[in-house]
Structure 1
């Protein structure tokens, strides 16, 4: 989320390549021949997107043009003031923001409910009017609060938004963040906690944003958790572990297998790249990462 630059600070560019099966039928490697990205054709199985904040050194116009050229369908974490730029370029606002108070001040604390209810009551109709579906939200930090109290408070507040969200066909999407490295004390740091909150709210208009980077840090077991909890997941973010670098051979996650597991659940939403490029050619890094995820 762009409201916390620490969370999304700098990472790297990438090799050139497209994954190819070996003669023995092994899983594809990350590597490919140089230059093969120039005329990249996406397969159409994944709705690819990118997070705006990772490319803040580019204008939104520049990012839209690059996204369009690569074949991305959406840009995450863009608010109402910038929606006209996306619309001009035919790019979808795949995860809207602008109603939240902050990552650390969220629905688990009743102190913030009045302000959050006001913000989301105003924002939900704007999201719907613009033709969008997803609006991000956050649990907030624990500040000494136990998990059960956080669940109770969050469910109580978010239930008050569900009739409006259902009316406008907008989904409030709570992001899973790690509390070990990037967001110390954040409450929604386990998929099981988020899924339990979704069960208590009991509406299809509340879901989770499963950030693969964050959940690898805090709980691992990525593919099994995706398979188990996919009914509660509306959106995915990517990044390399460790360091939030490019999703290439420098890190521990094998994204082709992860994306295949996501698609196997019947997922039709967006997968957004949220790594911070380290290489000088940041768009080449983005293109390569999209290619790795294009299974």
Structure 2
């Protein structure tokens, strides 16, 4: 059964506390949520799960975009030991909060490097942390991002490049995060890609194109895309990684009215 997961960072303004975001998602009918693990203590998440049970479907925050951003880069060999340390911390956090997935972003293009070198370094970094995530039973999902609207200069801005990385790593615990917003901007052919390559996909994000708001209208006719995902046998959560055009609660009501079957 497909269900939407609230994104507790993107769906709210910064003035709203993490606990209030959690309760608002639960009040709105969500069964799952995702967030950036570095920004919250795992003990608070455990306490919130006891008070208002939500499944933590996915967590971001393990890798970064550029040098000096406070997170290791997937493509920098000199960050590999740092990455392994942070992955161990993230895996421990994931196990304490019953989260099955960690999001990795690909990082920005390095000056003078070929795409092949970026891919080689990304593959080697992922292979280095595979034993950690396989032992823990946690899946890394690599998210290709759009370089046209939100992330100019990003490496890995297509599903094809992300799939090459996933295939070369060759672990059941390294998959693709297929973000419908990013991939509609970059390449389209959403349903065809999902049908042909669903075995490499471990998680999904959705948002409206253009604007990255709640998925109501816009370029993507979302119901057939969701049906295609369900037909592949995927029955997990789909993250609502959007910034609302109105208050979080109003946006949630609109999403629930449009997609009642995807909230509990």
Match of 2:30 in 1: 72
Contact in 2 for aligned 1:60/1:85 (Cα 8 Å):
no
> Which range is displaced more, 173-182 or 120-129?
120-129
Instruction: Say whether residues 1:264 and 2:231 are aligned partners.
Output: yes
Identify unmatched segments of 5+ residues in structure 2: 68-72
Match of 1:208 in 2: 176
Give the alignment of 1:125-274 within 5 angstroms.
125-144=92-111, 145-249=113-217, 251-274=218-241
Instruction: Please give the alpha-carbon distance, in whole angstroms, between the structure 2 residues aligned to 1:111 and 1:228.
Output: 36
> Which range is displaced more, 79-88 or 188-197?
79-88
Q: For the pair shown, which has the larger CA radius of gyration, 1 or 2?
A: 1
Instruction: Say whether residues 1:288 and 2:254 are aligned partners.
Output: yes
TM-score using structure 2 length: 0.87
Match of 1:96 in 2: 59
Structure number with greater CO (CA < 8 Å, separation at least 6) is: 1
RMSD: 1.8
Instruction: Please give the alpha-carbon distance, in whole angstroms, between the structure 1 residues aligned to 2:202 and 2:210.
Output: 25
Q: Which structure is higher in helix share? A: 2
Instruction: Please give the alpha-carbon distance, in whole angstroms, between the structure 2 residues aligned to 1:85 and 1:271.
Output: 24
The Cα of 1:291 is off from its aligned counterpart by 4.3
Partner SS for 2:155: coil
Moved over 4 A (4+): none
Q: Deviations over 1:11-68 (max 9, x none)?
A: xxxxxxxxxxxxxxxxxxxxxxxxxxxxxxxxxx322201111213432222222222
Q: Deviations over 1:148-199 (max 9, x none)?
A: 1111111111111111111110011111210111011111211111111111
The Cα of 1:76 is off from its aligned counterpart by 1.1
Instruction: Please give the alpha-carbon distance, in whole angstroms, between the structure 2 residues aligned to 1:59 and 1:193.
Output: 37
Partner SS for 2:176: strand
Match of 1:51 in 2: 7
Match of 2:70 in 1: none
Instruction: Please give the alpha-carbon distance, in whole angstroms, between the structure 2 residues aligned to 1:146 and 1:179.
Output: 17
Partner SS for 1:83: helix
Are residues 97 and 246 of structure 1, via their aligned partners in 2, closer, same or farther at CA, if it must alter by over 3 Å? closer
Instruction: Please give the alpha-carbon distance, in whole angstroms, between the structure 2 residues aligned to 1:248 and 1:142.
Output: 33
The Cα of 1:127 is off from its aligned counterpart by 1.4
Q: Deviations over 1:115-139 (max 9, x none)?
A: 1122112321331233221111121
Identify unmatched segments of 5+ residues in structure 1: 1-44
Instruction: Please give the alpha-carbon distance, in whole angstroms, between the structure 2 residues aligned to 1:169 and 1:282.
Output: 33
Q: Deviations over 1:229-268 (max 9, x none)?
A: 211111111111111123223x111111111111111112
Partner SS for 1:53: coil
Instruction: Please give the alpha-carbon distance, in whole angstroms, between the structure 2 residues aligned to 1:153 and 1:98.
Output: 19
Partner SS for 1:136: strand
